[in-house]
Amino acid sequence: MKSFNLLMNFFSVIDSFLFSFHPKLNFHKLWNYFFRALIFASGIFILCDPIFTNWPFWSFNEPYITGIYFWELPLQKVLFFVYIPFSMNVNFNAFI
């Protein structure tokens, strides 16, 4: 049960990762720009989220997290800031 959320993250991004190599999209050629923007944008949220987790109405379900933490955030939460923007960009470029 602890790896459920991590597996959900993996299966949410794997199709977008594979689709980014599609010849009509070629999103993998834009990874350099994407990851630079991702580091900037995700960094803001990763710095602010530990503040919110100390408030009583914001928490994580212990049975669903692996126990690996970065800056007081579970691994799944940190990966969330990577796989959601990545998946959205790949899927958005598919419709352009």
* Cβ proximity of 75 and 2 under 8 Å: no
The model's pTM:
0.74
Identify which of 91, 89, 88, 61 has the alpha carbon closest to the alpha carbon of residue 77. Answer: 61
Q: Is the pLDDT of residue 14 over 70?
A: yes
Residues contacting residue 31 through CB under 8 Å, at least 6 positions apart: 20
Q: What is the rounded average pLDDT of the residues 1-14?
A: 82
The mean pLDDT of 22-39, rounded to a whole number, is 88
